[in-house]
Amino acid sequence: MIAFGDISDKIKLIRQLKGANVKAVIACESARMKSRHNPHGVPRPHFRIVRYVALGGETAASPPTAARPPMTAAAKLNVLAGESDAPATTPAASILDLPTVPQPSLKEELGDELPF
């Protein structure tokens, strides 16, 4: 579980530095892992952090949404398939509107400043 350990360490660090409401937007990829049976390596999962976003708290200024009646499972499938006139609210569309949190600098990570 190399991929899970790497991504969890990065998320723990950003939450310590920027606050508990910071979440990571990740992309699933593959990387090569050394193996004694295959000198070229075998594929393993790898999670790349695309960006960090702030959810809730004072940093996320999201406009209030109008309350809608709950949709049935069949209606949700029709919306996702594009067979309905109802507006589709996909998670990807809402992620694009979230405020971005900058990557932590080396100074922040180390808690030290190198004078030159």
Indicate whether this model's pTM tops 0.75: no
Residues 37, 16 share a domain: yes
Q: Domain tally for the chain?
A: 2
Enclosing domain of residue 96: 70-100
Sign of CA dihedral 84, 89, 91, 95: positive
- Answer yes or no: do 18 and 36 share one domain: yes
Q: Give domain status of residue 32, yes or no.
A: yes
Q: Is 73 helix (H, G, I), strand (E, B) or coil?
A: helix
Q: What integer pLDDT is reported at residue 84 of this predicted model? A: 57
Q: What pLDDT is attached to residue 101?
A: 87
Nearest to 28 by CA among 10, 44, 52, 8: 44
For the stretch 6-51, pLDDT in tens is 999 999 999 999 888 998 889 999 988 888 888 888 999 999 999 9
The answer to whether residue 109 sits within a structural domain is no
- For residue 92, being part of any structural domain is answered with yes
R_g of the chain, CA atoms, integer Å: 20
State yes or no: pLDDT of 55 exceeds 80.
yes
Do 35 and 85 lie in a common domain?
no
The predicted structure's pLDDT at residue 64: 44
5, 52: one domain: yes
Contact by Cβ (8 Å): 54, 101: yes
What is the spatial distance between Cα 77 and Cα 115, in angstroms, rounded to a whole number? 58
Tell me: do 23 and 42 sit in the same domain. yes
Indicate if 19 and 55 belong to the same structural domain: yes
Q: Do residue 26 and residue 46 come from a single domain?
A: yes
Same-domain status, 19 and 57 = yes
Instruction: Tell me: pLDDT of 113 over 70.
Output: yes
